[in-house]
Amino acid sequence: MALTDPLGSNILIGGVGGSSTLGANNDTIGDQFVPEIWGKAVLDSFNKNTVLAKLGTDLSELAKDGGDKINLPHVGTPIVKPVTQNAEVITLDVSGSDTATSTTLTIDQHHVAPIWIPDAVKAQAAYDLFDLYAGQMGYAIARAVDNFVAYSIVTNLTTALGSGDGITSTTAAVEVAETFTEANLATLMGLIVGETGDTNGWTIVLSPKTFGALANLGGNSFDQGAANAPLGANFASTGVVGNLLGMPVVMSNNAYMDVASVSANAETGTQAWTGFDTGSSGADTADDDHLMGFAIHETALYTAIQSSGVKRSYQHTYMQDLVSADALYGCVVRNADSAGNRRIITLYDSLD
């Protein structure tokens, strides 16, 4: 193979069957690079570093069939009717089951994490270097996906609860400040049980400040270190919470937590959010309550990754390999501030 412009060489490679020497029957450079090995390592790092994307229902298998949209039917609670002998029971009016409407999950996000490597093949053979490079790419993609999921959630919550005075409705929100007391937990529990009847399928997501405030829970059944304490027997020494009243507890370091607003950052996949104060398009921050966390039901969030992969090319002008990991994905949030349709309960710190 003749290279007409050696300095502009940008040849995609992969596979283990050939030689790294150019010749009449060889048209690859560095063909010992194995994308599958890198892809597995990047995926492992991605799964380790994602938080919010794991909270809902993963529809990636449906997304792989092609297309950029997945229509999700609303399957509510069917109506019930008494059965009477020799009388019509089931009519065509089944609107109570809410089967006529749907929500669309659009796969419209595409992020790539590129990195320069002096020699990708040698890095692939050296565990420490390989783990470093693949881990950083996986982390970057995970952060971008989590930031988009968080943005989708805060946008939904702003629509459902935001106003010109910030969050004013307490039908699906609990003011916790930075303390998170037993009273806050009791209120949260009441809202959750009022919506779905129990805590099955719910997860509590806390900001770093609110997670730290769990140490304020003391006395009664919340004694730290007690064998059957909701925070766990080892919470006082480890700071790790497995679950709380039957709900898994996770901490998120996401950009949208503990702040009144967020600026866009293309390098981390963060989109701008002006806060819960919708009265002046974010210019007045006096009522931009802080998002301190939330409880989310598994039916509130749907995510899908349509494709992902690792690519490598040799850039002669830089005398390095360019290796990149990318993901094409989307998500949608289904939640409303109406009885029976609240699937996210907000924890916030009021700035009024």
Confidence category of residue 217, pLDDT binned at 50, 70, 90: confident
Confidence category of residue 227, pLDDT binned at 50, 70, 90: low
Contact call for residues 299 and 214 (beta carbons, < 8 A): no
The pLDDT of residue 27 is 43
Confidence category of residue 149, pLDDT binned at 50, 70, 90: very high
d(CA 78, CA 94): 7
Q: What is the pLDDT of residues 293-303, one digit of tens each?
A: 999 999 999 99
Q: What is the pLDDT of residues 307-326, one digit of tens each?
A: 888 998 988 888 999 999 99
258: closest CA among 310, 210, 294?
210
What CA–CA distances, in Å, run from 36 to 32, 60, 144, 227? 12, 19, 22, 45
Q: Is 90 exposed, middle or buried (0-12, 13-18, 19+ CB in 10 A)?
A: exposed
Instruction: Say what percent of the chain tops pLDDT 70.
Output: 78
SS3 state at 48? helix
Give residues with Cβ within 8 angstroms of 5, minimum separation 6. Answer: none
Q: What pTM does this model have?
A: 0.81
Contact call for residues 321 and 275 (beta carbons, < 8 A): no
Residue type, 72: L
Q: What is the pLDDT of residues 63-96, one digit of tens each?
A: 887 778 888 887 666 677 788 888 887 765 555 4
| Beta bridge pairs of residue 332 | 302
